[in-house]
Copies of this chain bind each other. A is one copy, B any other.
Amino acid sequence: MNGHAGEAAAVNGHARVGAPVIRTAKEARAAFRAGETGPTAGWAAGFTQANLISVPADWAYEMLLFCQRNPKPCPVLDVTDAGSYVTPLAPGADLRTDLPRYRVWEHGELAGEPTDVVDRWRDDLVSFLIGCSFTFEWALADAGVPLRHIEQGRNVPMYVTARPCRPAGRLHGPMVVSMRPVPPRSLADAIRESALMPSVHGSPVHCGEPSGLGIEDLGRPDFGDPVAAEPDDIPVFWACGVTPRAAVMASRPPFAITHAPGRMFLTDARDEQYRVA
């Protein structure tokens, strides 16, 4: 853990000279609340980061059912009561202010990217905290699986697949995946290590030929950055927490709030807690 924590911080450029060292999720949240807006990769390593999606109570059952029916892309870590912006995963945190940046959605269209959502909050919002692949990446790194996108200082590439999620009422949309090129010697380790963390996407949904997921060009991801692979690398695809946001874009609820890409919510939970064995 500690080795990976240092490595991730350095690779992601957050070991800022002269800046206070951020060690805990609580310190990170305070920095974001105070105005820091950068991506959260590498911050407070070892603490579990989560995707945020807040929808009106009228849509909450369908969102929770959508997540239950699609547990690999949408592993639910917590759901708040309507109107509440607190979670037992991070006592003292305020979901309206403690992320670096948000996205506000109206009828599936982007309607703003504020650094807090105090003014946009509604008493009927139910917030979902969804697991994030950052959590299993440390386990891959600890098992010696190279993480090409981190080596190259890029965001992980993500792709909208041709595989539809199982719908839930009005909510529907495609499964989104993240891709990591894995060398043949590490494939079994990558699968096993992620399989042991089913609450944060679990094992891959596909290994190899991208066309099996309807992906035409690995060089043109829908989100994130393209990543260079070594000649023998196998593209490995994990279900991605961007999926519920894609469902919001496709299904157009009247209102929703999400984190801005790469600007996750840092919980006080530890990544190890999501490992089953």
The smallest C-beta distance from A86 to any residue of chain B, in angstroms, reads 14
**How far apart sit A227 and B276, CA to CA, in the bound complex (Å)?**
28
CB closest chain-B residue, reference A88: B166
The smallest C-beta distance from A190 to any residue of chain B, in angstroms, reads 12
The smallest C-beta distance from A58 to any residue of chain B, in angstroms, reads 10
Interface string of A185-212 (1 = CB under 8 A from B): 0000000100110110011000000000
CB contact between A65 and one of B69, B79, B203 (< 8 Å): that residue: B79
For chain A, which range describes its interface: under 10, 10 to 19, 20 to 34, or 35 or more residues? Answer: 10 to 19
The smallest C-beta distance from A140 to any residue of chain B, in angstroms, reads 14
Please determine whether B61 and A69 come into contact, CB atoms closer than 8 angstroms: no
Please determine whether A276 and B64 come into contact, CB atoms closer than 8 angstroms: no
Task: Give A52-78 interface residues, CB cut-off 8 Å to B.
Answer: 60-61, 64-65, 68-69, 76
A277 at the interface (CB under 8 A from B): yes
Chain B residues closer than 8 Å to A277, beta-carbon distance? 192, 195-196, 203, 277
**How far apart sit A19 and B68, CA to CA, in the bound complex (Å)?**
39
Chain B residues closer than 8 Å to A198, beta-carbon distance? 198-199, 276
CB closest chain-B residue, reference A57: B61
Known A-B contacts A64-B61, A198-B198; A203 and B76 likewise in contact (beta carbons under 8 Å): no
**How far apart sit A195 and B275, CA to CA, in the bound complex (Å)?**
9
Please determine whether A202 and B68 come into contact, CB atoms closer than 8 angstroms: no
CB closest chain-B residue, reference A67: B68
Please determine whether A276 and B195 come into contact, CB atoms closer than 8 angstroms: yes
**How far apart sit A272 and B148, CA to CA, in the bound complex (Å)?**
33
Chain B residues closer than 8 Å to A60, beta-carbon distance? 61
Chain B residues closer than 8 Å to A203, beta-carbon distance? 276-277
Interface positions of A (Cβ within 8 A of B): 60-61, 64-65, 68-69, 76, 79, 81, 169, 192, 195-196, 198-199, 202-203, 276-277
